[in-house]
Amino acid sequence: MNNVSHIPSYLSAEHLGPWETYLVQIDRVEPHLSAELRPLAPLLTRPKRALIVDVPIRLDNGEVAHFEGYRVQHNLSRGPGKGGIRYHPDVTLAEVMALSAWMTVKNAVVNVPFGGAKGGVRVDPKLLSMPELERLTRRYTSEINILIGQDKDIPAPDINTNEQVMAWIMDTFSMNEGKTSMGVVTGKPISLGGSLGRKDATGRGVFVSTVEAARRLGMQIEGAKVAIQGFGNVGEASARLFANAGAKVVALQDGSGAIANPAGLDVRAVKAFRHQSGSLIGAPGAETIDADRFWRCDVDILVAAAMENQITASNAGSIKARILTEGANGPTTPEADLILQENGVTVIPDVLANAGGVTVSYFEWVQDISAFFWTEEEINARLDRIMREAFAAVWDAAQAKGVVMRTAAFVLGCERVLMAHKLRGLYP
Ligand code: NAD
């Protein structure tokens, strides 16, 4: 439980949404910015522009339903906007603002030439048929058409959106433009200008950054016990890569519940079972556990790869892992951050740990623009190099400044954004 008594109550999860969490993170970083750039920090505390759209679609039964959609460009100082599109019933403007801001910082941490953006539609896609989902995607794309484009703002997948959704976005945008524009979106199917390696890229970045942390902490990946929350795009790929490297994935949790096996789960068998049944519960060789036991699991590495606000004051103190890798965006509240720091847990922050996805999205965009495609070996080698270099820069800065990795990553990313802003100057 929370054993840190000096944490102010306004930092607790019930007071903070994702946008407030981001603002607290900026507050913590500001004193560490260079004297030259610190006065520019208010730029980071508001999005450049935010678009709210009505997305009306005809349902299969003939009725018309309205959904609310968003596209937020938080900052474009370093290049076109870049960030995924989320379909979820809980999506709000404030959440999309936070996700776009984290994209600004993340893109700067791995030094890809993009600003930060994000989009979302407040919808439960599980309640829509495929034709309804296609109509929703095409209408949403048409509504945000004024903001997106290969050299303006480039969406990608996020929670509940996938290659098929990206293909519809690319097609709709292209129809409106009167020409095929492959570079308007990343995470596309390979046959439509997608990149090899994109599907596993975020999980691969999670794995590579965890390996880098483990090496510096004197830990072995082989034989290490790993728990992973989220078994979607990011969580499943991470689980597979850890298992391939000889780690034991001992616990998994997703929207259906949590399972464990202290001897190690068979990740491929669990994936096949999950695919067939839609649930983790009942997977071969796995015991069902409750959420409380999941967070208390005796593990060396914990990967959070589901949603925001999962690690809070109520469970942070139970975490036994030495490394917490944030595959998800914003999984840890500022209050939980202080508890983890006090307990000596090394947190690899989202803006570094899950940057593998946007890095390969950048490769996809470069390949589309140049109409020249790379091999998977080239892509993985370039991704590994960028992740290792970004990890080393953040780790070294954290050691030098005596701060946690989240602060070090934010200082690195924010200073790059603010320097670009300073060099461009204030218009007019
Ligand atoms: P996904 O939709 O493929 O998977 C999400 C997973 O989280 C599912 O297994 C779902 O069951 C689980 N989940 C949802 N709510 C949960 C809850 N309350 N408790 C436990 N599990 C829950 O999404 P994804 O693409 O894997 O994204 C996961 C996270 O990673 C998100 O925060 C996303 O923003 C972030 N991210 C994704 C990418 C990417 O390339 N897909 C890149 C960077 C960051």
Residue 373 lies in a domain: no
Residue 171 lies in a domain: yes
Which H/E stretch holds residue 225?
Answer: strand 225-229
Residues catalogued as catalytic:
118
Q: Give yes or no: residues 307 and 251 share one domain.
A: yes
Task: Round the CA-based radius of gyration of the chain to a whole number and report it.
Answer: 21
pLDDT exceeds cutoff 90 at 4:
no
User: Is the CB of 120 inside a 6 Å radius of any atom of ligand 1?
Assistant: no
Q: Give yes or no: residues 149 and 212 share one domain.
A: no
Q: Give yes or no: residues 54 and 107 share one domain.
A: yes
User: Is the CB of 100 inside a 6 Å radius of any atom of ligand 1?
Assistant: no
pLDDT of residue 3: 40
Residue 3 lies in a domain: no
Domain limits for position 205: 201-353
pLDDT of residue 221: 98
Residue 40 lies in a domain: no
Q: Cα separation of 182 and 372, whole Å?
A: 12
Residue 193: left if φ>0, alpha if ψ -120 to 50, beta else—which one? left
Residue 194 lies in a domain: no
pLDDT confidence band for 15 (50 / 70 / 90) = low
Residue 380 lies in a domain: no
Q: Give yes or no: residues 291 and 333 share one domain.
A: yes
User: Is the CB of 315 inside a 6 Å radius of any atom of ligand 1?
Assistant: no
User: Is the CB of 159 inside a 6 Å radius of any atom of ligand 1?
Assistant: yes
Which H/E stretch holds residue 299?
Answer: none
pLDDT confidence band for 315 (50 / 70 / 90) = very high
Q: What is the DSSP string of 343-368?
A: TT-EEE-HHHHTTHHHHHHHHHHHHH
pLDDT confidence band for 2 (50 / 70 / 90) = very low
- Which of 179, 237, 169, 246 is closest to 204 using CA atoms? 237
Q: Give yes or no: residues 206 and 148 share one domain.
A: no
- Single pTM value for the model: 0.95
Burial class (CB in 10 A: 0-12, 13-18, 19+), 17: middle
Phi, psi of 118 (to 5 degrees): -165, 155
> How many Cα atoms occupy the beta-carbon half-sphere of 415 within 13 Å?
15
Percent of the chain residues topping a pLDDT of 70: 96
Model confidence pLDDT, tens digit, residues 213-247: 999 999 999 999 999 999 999 999 999 999 999 99
Q: Give yes or no: residues 205 and 330 share one domain.
A: yes
Q: Give yes or no: residues 143 and 244 share one domain.
A: no
**Ligand 1, atom nearest to 357 Cα:** 40
Q: Give yes or no: residues 92 and 152 share one domain.
A: yes
**230 Cα–ligand 1 center, Å:** 6
Average pLDDT value over all residues in the chain: 96
Q: Give yes or no: residues 143 and 220 share one domain.
A: no
**304 Cα–ligand 1 center, Å:** 9
Q: Give yes or no: residues 212 and 333 share one domain.
A: yes
Percent of the chain residues topping a pLDDT of 90: 96
Domain termination residue (choose one: 325, 353, 381): 353
Overall domain count for the chain: 2
pLDDT confidence band for 409 (50 / 70 / 90) = very high
Model confidence pLDDT, tens digit, residues 20-49: 999 999 999 999 999 999 999 999 999 999
The CATH number given to whatever domain includes residue 288 is: 3.40.50.720
**61 Cα–ligand 1 center, Å:** 31
Domain termination residue (choose one: 310, 333, 353): 353
Q: Give yes or no: residues 83 and 221 share one domain.
A: no
pLDDT confidence band for 16 (50 / 70 / 90) = confident
Domain termination residue (choose one: 324, 353, 382): 353
pLDDT of residue 8: 62
pLDDT of residue 11: 62
Residue 419 lies in a domain: no
* For range 127-147, the mean pLDDT: 98
Model confidence pLDDT, tens digit, residues 257-299: 999 999 999 999 999 999 999 999 999 999 999 999 999 999 9
User: Is the CB of 326 inside a 6 Å radius of any atom of ligand 1?
Assistant: no
Residue 412 lies in a domain: no
Q: Give yes or no: residues 288 and 329 share one domain.
A: yes
Model confidence pLDDT, tens digit, residues 82-129: 999 999 999 999 999 999 999 999 999 999 999 999 999 999 999 999
The CATH number given to whatever domain includes residue 110 is: 3.40.50.10860
Model confidence pLDDT, tens digit, residues 341-377: 999 999 999 999 999 999 999 999 999 999 999 999 9
**Ligand 1, atom nearest to 198 Cα:** 40
pLDDT confidence band for 305 (50 / 70 / 90) = very high
pLDDT of residue 277: 97
- Which of 18, 23, 49, 308 is closest to 153 using CA atoms? 49
Of all protein residues, whose CA lies closest to atom 4 belonging to ligand 1? 232
User: Is the CB of 360 inside a 6 Å radius of any atom of ligand 1?
Assistant: no
Tell me how many helices (H) and strands (E) the chain has.
13, 13
pLDDT of residue 5: 46
